[in-house]
């Protein structure tokens, strides 16, 4: 069992938890993820390592409440425990030798982008962070990003925070004004990463994207997290859990990834609704 050391609501749908997991904290690196089960009968879900403290032996996860399991997880409080917490899994983000990087985060993807920006800053790289949200009330990790970024560009769809527009608007302006990056690292919704990659391809800037497809076992055996890459004109299958989650954005078949990612949306909504109803009945029964 893995004890919850800290729980913090970052906004109405996103929660931060710090978990006591010394073995995971000892080896975790930015870009990697864990797989957890809330209880014995629970499903396995992957969550990216948002931060870690090797001395304290803790790992921070940040999750959006979108399905049954994240709803269950969000009902746990400090002092309570998670059944399983396995990791670190996946390949750490490659950052060696990078001197100037644009880190682009969208929505809850900023929880994955932040540890990358932090590590780059610690290595002495110049970091420009571009973050995008639908509105101000959904903003997360503002102070953290500002602390590790030489330049910080917040964007919102409605203009209630930072500048109105998309992350690609800010990135295009920077590139057209002469900013030159060794790498762009984009983490967020598939549609966002697709258009960031389309833009950086115009400017011939190497671009890494973090893929988070459906995942079950985290060892490459189930095949659920498969992705198609186009390499040298040929379609190649990779698995996000063992080959990623980072990939060359110029190679990813985003359209296929988006189609596969939408396959279980209706099931997810139904499971979430059932779980919410169960919790509501429990509350009513205890009243």
User: What residue spans define the domains of the chain?
Assistant: 2-89, 93-210
Q: What is the 3-state secondary structure (H, E, C) of 148-211?
A: HCCEEEEEECCCCCCEECCHHHHHHHHHHCCCCCCEEEEECCHHHHHHHHHHHHHCCCCEEEEC
Rounded-to-integer distance, Cα 193 and Cα 188, Å: 6
| CATH numeric code, 2-89 | 2.40.30.10
Which tokens belong to 162? 């930072």
Q: What is the pLDDT along the chain (287 residues), one digit of tens a residue?
A: 899 999 999 988 899 999 999 999 999 999 899 999 999 888 888 898 989 999 999 999 999 988 888 899 999 999 999 999 998 998 999 999 999 999 999 998 998 899 999 999 999 999 999 999 999 999 999 999 999 999 999 999 999 999 999 999 999 999 999 999 999 999 999 999 999 999 999 999 999 999 887 777 676 777 778 888 988 888 998 888 888 889 999 999 988 888 876 656 664 554 445 545 554 555 455 55
Distance of CA 74 to the CA centre of its chain: 17
CATH class of the 93-210 domain in this structure: alpha beta
């Amino acid at each position: 069992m893995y004890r919850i050391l800290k729980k913090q609501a970052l906004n109405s749908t996103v929660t931060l938890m710090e978990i006591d997991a010394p073995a995971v904290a000892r080896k975790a690196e930015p870009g990697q993820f864990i797989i957890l089960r809330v209880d014995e009968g629970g499903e396995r879900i992957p969550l990216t390592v948002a931060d870690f403290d090797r001395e304290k032996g803790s790992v921070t996860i940040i999750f959006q409440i979108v399905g049954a399991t994240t709803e269950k997880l969000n009902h746990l409080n400090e002092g309570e425990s998670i059944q399983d917490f396995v990791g670190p899994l996946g390949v750490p983000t490659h950052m060696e030798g990078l001197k100037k990087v644009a880190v682009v985060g969208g929505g809850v993807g900023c929880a994955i982008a932040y540890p990358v920006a932090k590590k780059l800053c610690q290595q002495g790289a110049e970091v420009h962070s571009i973050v995008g949200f639908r509105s101000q009330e959904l903003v997360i990790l503002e102070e953290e990003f500002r602390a590790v970024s030489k330049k910080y560009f917040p964007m919102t769809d409605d203009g209630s925070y930072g500048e109105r527009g998309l992350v690609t608007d800010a990135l295009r302006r920077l590139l057209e004004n002469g900013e030159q990056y060794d790498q762009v690292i984009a983490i967020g919704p598939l549609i966002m990463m697709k258009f960031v990659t389309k833009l950086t391809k115009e400017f011939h800037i190497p671009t890494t994207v973090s893929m988070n497809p459906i995942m079950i076992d985290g060892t490459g055996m189930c095949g659920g997290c498969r992705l198609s890459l186009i390499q040298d004109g040929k379609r190649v299958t990779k698995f996000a859990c063992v080959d990623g989650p980072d990939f060359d954005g110029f190679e990813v078949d985003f359209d296929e990834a988006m189609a596969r990612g939408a396959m279980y949306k209706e099931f997810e909504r139904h499971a979430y609704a059932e779980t919410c109803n169960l919790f509501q009945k429990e509350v009513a029964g205890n009243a």
